[in-house]
Amino acid sequence: LGMWCSSDDSLHFEFVTVLVRDPRTQKEDSWHSYIDYEIFIHVSIKISPEILWTCTIASVRVGAYFRY
């Protein structure tokens, strides 16, 4: 998985590993059930938490469009 990150007026393409663990269905008997899970992000470079957080939020917002 790769992700584009912008910092200090430069654009970088970095490789990351995303692990999804422990999926659990919440409110199974409800019409509005959802899956709760843990996400671990491993990057191959040294990156500041602020930049990683910004890129993660952007990825989550893009993924939100694929809900059904």
Beta carbons within 10 angstroms of residue 5's beta carbon? 19
Q: What's the rounded mean pLDDT across residues 35-50?
A: 70
57 against 32, higher pLDDT:
32
7-11, 30-34, 41-45, 63-67: which is most confident: 30-34
Q: What's the rounded mean pLDDT across residues 17-29?
A: 78
Domain count, the chain: 1
* pLDDT the model gives residue 68: 39
Residue 67 has pLDDT above 50, yes or no: no
Share of the chain above pLDDT 90, in %: 0
What distance in Å separates the CA atoms of residue 20 and residue 18, rounded to the nearest whole number? 7
* pLDDT the model gives residue 61: 47
Domain that holds residue 50: 2-64
What amino acid is encoded at 40 in this protein?
A: F
What distance in Å separates the CA atoms of residue 3 and residue 62, rounded to the nearest whole number? 12
